[in-house]
Amino acid sequence: MELFKPGRQFDFMGQRWFWIPLSLALVAISTALSFWPETVWPYGPNYGTDFRGGTEIEVAFGKALSFEGQEGAGALRKAVEASGFSTPDVVQVGDNAKNQFLVRVQDVSVIGEGAKEQVKKALCLTADSKAPVADEAACPPRARATEVKFSAGGDKLNTRYDSDPDLDKVKAQLQTVPGVRLRPSPTNPQVTNQRDHRVEIQLESKGDQLLNSLRTKLGDAVPEHALRVEWVGPKAGKQLRDSARNSVAIAIVFIMLYLAFRFDLRFAPGVVIACIHDAMVVIGVFILLHKEITLSTIAVVLTIVGYSMNDTVVIYDRIRENLGKHRGKTFAQIINLSVSETLSRTILTSGATMLSVLAFFIWGTGVIKDFALGMVIGIVAGTYSSIYVAAPLTEWIDTKMAKAGDVKKRLASPKG
């Protein structure tokens, strides 16, 4: 199917001096927004729980929510803030009739550094359980821990004793620490290793505490258990951010190597710059719209990088073919001819993909909707960058290489 008459050509390269500065501006703005501190500009990257760290719970409430004059998501956000949790994100999942919400808070550990010292003191942590203590009643021999380890989320303690521990006394000791509450269970705390006298103590997680606080404020609308509770520590979030950045960089490097092998070296930088352009445009739009940047966003970026490369390779293949056919034309004319010949294919392919993605964007919810938004932006950016980023850069590199070759020839020729 041809959308344009065979033989018709468009002067794409003649318009490049308008589009290249626009592309540079878009990338510069996106880069600035990516590194701009939120203390100066409030619309910096909105990292999700995956990258920022925090606690996320998904709750299906029994009825419509109402709190302090607010309804629905607004009421839930007010209730979470009133519970003492900082910067909550509340997202409705599914239809309004389901009353199902996703709540994210930045709090992760139930035990801060100060509380950890209090817990150690309450558990009578000592290197020698037989050494004398100031308060024998509070620290009997069977309730003196010789080792205390905290889980990353702070919702679990692993302790060790020199003798068979008094679990009732251990439980009473922990109840004296402000803000630390044990998870209700007849087997909590429990001995996990009889020989080494190891004890596991489960505390209420931030998700448990959040649900309990909501229950006091929203009443019987709050179910007994959340549908899902997840948390990511700040250290793990930083590692995920670094891994996500590295994955995009490695993908671009291998794309460059592939193109240098398939075509020649002058073609590779254009695709790499075009892929970086597309990735930064998608991230920039997400930041401007204050969308969450999560692992799904990185998946979108990697998908767009592959899509953009595929579109560019089609144009490059036609350029290489036309270079052999039309030896009298300039490289800019070859690009105009090649892009014009593949324009119908590009529009049809991008249009069909766009229609599929738009269906998810219009009728999708939550993560699917954001993924589709990234794909819509990426398809437009990828199609545009193949014509006005990759091709002009390749033409510029070809011109520079040709001039360098002419200089070498003049220098090598004998003086006559």
| 416/129 Cα distance (integer angstroms) | 99
pTM for this model (two decimals): 0.66
- Closest residue by Cα to residue 38 from 287, 298, 296: 287
Cβ–Cβ under 8 Å, residues 171 and 143: no
Instruction: Please report, for the chain, the start and end positions of each structural domain, with discontinuous segments joined by +.
Output: 13-43+233-403, 54-104+208-232, 113-203
- Closest residue by Cα to residue 281 from 203, 183, 379, 194: 379
What number of other Cβ atoms are within 10 A of residue 113's Cβ?
Answer: 7
Cβ–Cβ under 8 Å, residues 123 and 148: yes
* 366-376 per-position pLDDT tens digit: 678 888 898 99
pLDDT at 416: 45
| 213/271 Cα distance (integer angstroms) | 53
pLDDT at 43: 63
Question: Which bin fits 219, alpha (ψ -120 to 50), beta or left (φ > 0)?
Answer: left
Cβ–Cβ under 8 Å, residues 263 and 314: no
Token code pair at residue 113: 């550094």
HEC string of the chain equals CCCCCCCCCCCCHHHHHHHHHHHHHHHHHHHHHHHCCCCCCCCCCEECHHHHCEEEEEEECCCCCEECCEEHHHHHHHHHHHCCCCCCEEEEECCHHHCEEEEEECCCCCCCHHHHHHHHHHCCCCCCCCCCCCCCCCCCHHHCEEEEEECCCCCEEEEEECCCCCHHHHHHHHCCCCCCCECCCCCCCEEEECCCCEEEEEECCHHHHHHHHHHHHHHHHCCCCCCEEEEECHHHHHHHHHHHHHHHHHHHHHHHHHHHHHCCCCCHHHHHHHHHHHHHHHHHHHHHCCCEECHHHHHHHHHHHHHHHHHHHHHHHHHHHHHHHCCCCCHHHHHHHHHHHHHHHHHHHHHHHHHHHHHHHHHCCHHHHHHHHHHHHHHHHHHHHHHHHHHHHHHHHHHHHHHHHHHHHHHHCCCC
| 35/27 Cα distance (integer angstroms) | 13
Cβ–Cβ under 8 Å, residues 251 and 278: no
* 127-168 per-position pLDDT tens digit: 665 666 666 778 888 888 888 888 766 678 888 888 888 888
What number of other Cβ atoms are within 10 A of residue 3's Cβ?
Answer: 11
pLDDT at 314: 85
Distance, C-alpha 307 to centroid of its chain = 20
For the domain covering 13-43+233-403, report its CATH number: 1.20.1640.10
* 84-114 per-position pLDDT tens digit: 776 677 877 766 556 788 887 776 666 667 7
Token code pair at residue 115: 């509380």
Do the domains at 13-43+233-403 and 54-104+208-232 have one common CATH topology?
no
Which residues on neighbouring strands pair with residue 161, listed in sequence order?
A: 145
Tens of pLDDT along the chain (416 residues) come to 566 676 677 788 888 888 888 888 988 988 888 877 655 555 677 777 667 767 778 888 888 888 877 787 888 888 888 887 766 778 777 665 567 888 877 766 666 677 788 888 888 887 665 666 666 778 888 888 888 888 766 678 888 888 888 888 888 888 888 877 788 888 888 888 888 889 888 877 777 778 888 888 888 888 887 888 776 665 656 677 777 778 878 877 887 777 777 766 777 788 888 888 988 899 888 888 888 787 788 888 888 888 888 888 888 888 888 888 877 788 888 888 888 888 888 888 888 888 888 888 888 766 788 888 989 998 998 888 888 888 888 888 878 777 766 655 665 666 54
| 79/9 Cα distance (integer angstroms) | 62
For the domain covering 54-104+208-232, report its CATH number: 3.30.70
- Closest residue by Cα to residue 278 from 317, 239, 310: 310
269 HSE (CA, 13 A, CB side) = 9
| 231/85 Cα distance (integer angstroms) | 14
pLDDT at 407: 57
Token code pair at residue 359: 């269906």
Strand pairing report for 66-67 and 190-193: unpaired
